[in-house]
A and B are shown apart, each in its own frame.
Chain A
Amino acid sequence: MINNMLGQTVRIEAADPKHDGDKTTSKYALTVEDLNAWYGNLMVIQNISMGIGAQRITALIGPSGCGKSTFIRCLNRMHEVSEGGRVTGRVFMDGQDIYAPQVDPVSIRRRIGMVFQRASVFPTMSIFGNVASGISLTRFWSRRRDLKDVVERSLRKAALWEEVKDKLDQPGASLSGGQQQRLCIARAIAIEPEIILMDEPCSALDPISTLRIEELMLELKKDYTVVIVTHNMQQAARVSAWTGFMLLGQLIEYAPTKEVFTVPKDKRTEDYITGRFG
């Protein structure tokens, strides 16, 4: 039994003892139990159990096709939207299984935001509109002024405000790649999620923009739980507190980042991060 981020008790007996979570925190934002996922008949995630520490950055690494993106898509019920996507197992958030029948997936996606590999800005919509779009879809705003406040606050949190405050009405596509990705982060923040999932957020960015996003992640973890999927092992090493290594749909090793990158326990992790395969 463990306590989640609201101090409620969650049972995790079924969790694999190897991966039952971040022991350095008593708070879990998410507790995953026996998660399996399929695309049609193809099983892409096999029996993953793990605790994701609250207000931490957790990184998932692994070779292409290992299932890490699918896995985080299971964390906010996005996988089931894919063709043939099917999930079994449980994911607890505040003591509530997000896969329980009575749970509305849309409400989960509002609480667990997502940022994708390629900045998915609406190109012709204004910068302001891009940030506001998520809010408009999820809430009724009676006063535009409130909306303005939320947009400004979100852009500030995404470390973009100073760069765009004088051109909020310009199209989102006018921004650079790094700025567009921060705009997507602002849009995700605007709906006030508790958890932000990031799927390769920097893979299309230059090194400076990458470092800015990483710095931003470190800021964000003060208020949010961040889960990041990355191919860039240095990135995982730089920003995350815990790292999970996935291979062929399984979570092979899940430990404090420092341990994974200095003394990995599993030979497959060792071989992957030292570049002996992958």
Chain B
Amino acid sequence: MPRESYQRNLRELQDEVLVLGSMIEKALERSMKALKERDLNLARLVIDEDQNVNRKRFEIEEKGLDIISCQAPMASDLRILLAILFIVQDLERMGDHAAGNAKIVLMIGNEPPLKPLIDLPRMNEKVIDMLHRSLNAFIIHDAEAARKIVPEDDEIDQLYDQVFRELLTFMMEDPRTITRATRLMWVGHNLERTGDRVTNICERVVFMVTGKMEELNVSTY
């Protein structure tokens, strides 16, 4: 192959997207664990680590820009690079949502729990699972796998709907719960947005493989 080092750089950059993705998965896991266990130190760690996520995103963008400017990539290579630049934006924003949830954990502090957490952890698990599979589809260039993930976002939307109604009931029954319930609503909202970002990643994978820019997910929220 005449352009070995270029192809190697392109492959390495895709691997770095996976590294960023695993940082986000970890942030999501930790922020939910911190919420469930009221682990304020863990929440602070998630917030601090978000700086590394931001740095990693810029690092990938810079390397992508280097390849574009120095190697003039074409066709599928160009699509891979564009997909990477879009995906890292989505990942970085997902990191912000995870850090946002960690900040909510700090706000909640040691307030007595409003209710046992069931649906929020389920939303979180689902988001992490979808994220993991979307990045897998990205790395193996599998548009079909990416397409199949998108409708699963409905499950997250339904869970969010459920959380929203339940918390609304709490607030209507006892206005003193409004502050605590609103905070949990924010957590749900952040997770719902994170799910939408996963579907963006899937759209980019489809573009990367097929060259077609398609809106695959029309979010309810």
Contacts and interface: CB of A to CB of B under 8 A. Distances in A.
A249 to B, nearest CB: 22
A124 B49 CA distance: 72
Given A234-B72, A262-B211, A263-B211, A274 B79 contact: no
A274 B75 contact: yes
Interface in A224-243: 233-234, 237
B118 interface: no
A277 interface: yes
A278 B1 CA distance: 9
Contact of A273 (B6, B74, B79, B210): B74
Given A262-B211, A263-B211, A275 B75 contact: no
A36 B24 CA distance: 58
A269 B75 CA distance: 9
A237 B73 CA distance: 12
A264 interface: yes
A234 B2 CA distance: 18
Contacts of B73: 274
A227 B8 CA distance: 36
B76 A274 contact: yes
B3 A233 contact: no
Contacts of B79: 262-263
Contacts of B1: 276-277
A270 interface: yes
A261 B210 CA distance: 13
Contact of B78 (A261, A269, A277): A261
A233 B77 CA distance: 15
A278 B73 CA distance: 15
Interface residues of B, number: 14
Contacts of A264: 75
A128 B74 CA distance: 42
A121 to B, nearest CB: 32
B76 A270 contact: yes
Contacts of B74: 233, 237, 261-262, 273-275
Nearest to A261: B74
Nearest to A275: B3
Interface in A49-91: none
B78 A275 contact: no
Contacts of A263: 75, 79, 210-211
Nearest to A259: B211
A275 B211 CA distance: 19
Interface in B38-77: 72-77
A64 to B, nearest CB: 14
B2 A262 contact: no
**A-B pairs, 7 with minimum CB distance:** A263-B211, A273-B74, A275-B3, A274-B77, A270-B75, A264-B75, A261-B74
Given A262-B211, A263-B75, A274-B3, 20 more contacts: A233-B74, A234-B72, A237-B74, A261-B75, A262-B74, A262-B75, A262-B78, A263-B79, A263-B210, A269-B75, A270-B76, A273-B75, A274-B73, A274-B75, A274-B76, A274-B77, A275-B2, A275-B6, A275-B74, A277-B2
Interface of A: 233-234, 237, 261-264, 269-270, 273-278
Interface of B: 1-3, 6, 72-79, 210-211
